Amino acid sequence: MPYENERSGYEPLRRIAENERVKELLSNYRVRQRPVQRTAPLPLIDVSTLPHNGWKPNWVLAIDGSFLPVAIKNGYPGAEAAYITVASVMLDAAKLRELDQERPVEPKVFRATQESEALDDLLPGRNVVYEEDGSAKVSFRRALFNLLTAKSMSEDGESLLDTYEVLLQHKPKPQKAQAEQGCPYEDCPVDGTYRPQNGTFLCMCKQKRALYSTDALRIHERMNPESGSNDRIYSEVMQVVERIWVIHILRTLEKQRWLTSLKRLAILIDGPLAVFGQPAWISQAISEELKRINGLVREATGEDILLLGIEKGGEFADHFEQIDQNENGVAGSFPKRTAALLTDDYIKQNIYFSDSTKLYGTGTYYGRKFFYKTRSGARIIATLPYLDDDHADWLRADVSQFPRLADAAMLLDELISSRYPNSLQPIVAAHAEASIPFNLGKKVLERLARDLTTETKK
């Protein structure tokens, strides 16, 4: 690590560039050449040929989240906390279609087609400790449990924690050793293991300290207590809350007997239908609960749930851009209104190199990924959920494995935004509600944290 304002010299760069070991390693790495003919097929589907009954949604719900770490002035160096927000935006799609016929439209009339709500909370990070706790990690665990406890879609309905604990019952238990997990207290005198339970319960050692159902997510295990960034744990909390919130909404509709409303509702979430990192196990639990709820929705409406994960960038977006170009780099090779259904072989040969026999997405995804080029030429990377066991077979790509693909394509055609390349109006709106302006937001929230911690000490 450099000192403050210390600049790097050129000598290390020269030394690395001339190092024989470095040259040897670089010469042995595989370089992927642009193939003349792909060995793994990429099934292309002209969506205009798919059966479609003219369905259009009345409403579109979009969900996106963000977080912002800020410094906490509590006398300890490097102390920080993170503000986390997950926004839900409901877009009146039926009204938008009416306004499209009346362009131009005043901005305030357009904004009236959107309603938003946000879940906002604060997570303690390094060197931030509640008075009754013994470490920042303990406080983080408590804060995560309290975050889910405090959030609910309906005042008289289940909390987000209740929804999470339903998913906890689906936690994969292939072996006894994996069904148990280590005590989260680093100074546990017996260094024991335990089975996750609902609510708050006590460690089995003589100290009888609090354990939480949310400890099963194991996000706290990645907390960096001394130096470096803790962005990874904040990001993992955000992705879990975003995805549990979708299940929470569906379960609330079920309890209120409003499942028929899903016939005219589409749900979009920022990012793929997947969970990565420490809490990845919950992706399989989400898949099981989605299948159960979807069975009820089929009975009530005759249709599957329409849920889409939307990726804004990354390796899949880069690859889609590549295959849309000819050899001269000119875009337009990929046909409009066409979907490409991705398989395990195609992904491993063209996007993420791997010779593993483990199928892509195993243990992390609860949906199938596809490329779609809209009527206007926008490139969208999307995921549709596993609603039947067969949908998770990435060895093949059949339209039947992508529930409501025709409706999804129609929706993507309709929701394209001109504000950003390859963007969708609901996701843009949800991101605007969730995104905290980095510079201004950091100053405001740091001042808020300073003022509140000062008041607490008085």
In sequence order, what are the residues at sequence separation of 6 or more whose Cβ sits closer than 8 angstroms to the Cβ of residue 310?
268, 269, 270, 271, 380, 381, 382, 424, 427
Is 307 domain-assigned? yes
Strands 114-124 and 80-92: antiparallel
Backbone angles phi and psi of 303, in degrees to 5: -125, 160
Is 162 domain-assigned? no
Q: What is the DSSP string of 71-82?
A: E--SSSTT-EEE
pLDDT tens over the chain, length 458 residues: 444 454 555 555 555 566 676 566 656 665 555 554 557 889 999 999 999 999 999 999 999 999 989 888 877 888 898 999 999 999 999 998 888 777 776 777 878 889 988 889 999 999 988 888 889 999 999 999 999 999 999 888 899 999 999 999 999 875 555 556 778 877 776 666 778 889 998 887 777 788 999 999 999 999 998 878 899 999 999 999 999 999 999 999 999 999 999 999 999 999 999 999 999 999 999 999 999 999 999 999 999 999 999 999 999 999 999 999 988 788 889 999 999 999 999 999 999 988 889 999 999 999 999 999 999 999 999 999 999 999 999 999 999 999 999 999 999 999 999 889 999 999 999 998 888 655 444 455 555 555 555 555 44
Tokens matching residue 454:
């000062």
What is the spatial distance between Cα 265 and Cα 152, in angstroms, rounded to a whole number? 20
Is 212 domain-assigned? no
Is 192 domain-assigned? no
Is 316 domain-assigned? yes
* Domains of the chain: total: 1
Is 418 domain-assigned? yes
Is 154 domain-assigned? no
**Chain Cα centroid distance, residue 196:** 24
Residue-number span of the structural domain to which 314 is assigned: 44-122+228-457
Global pTM? Answer: 0.88
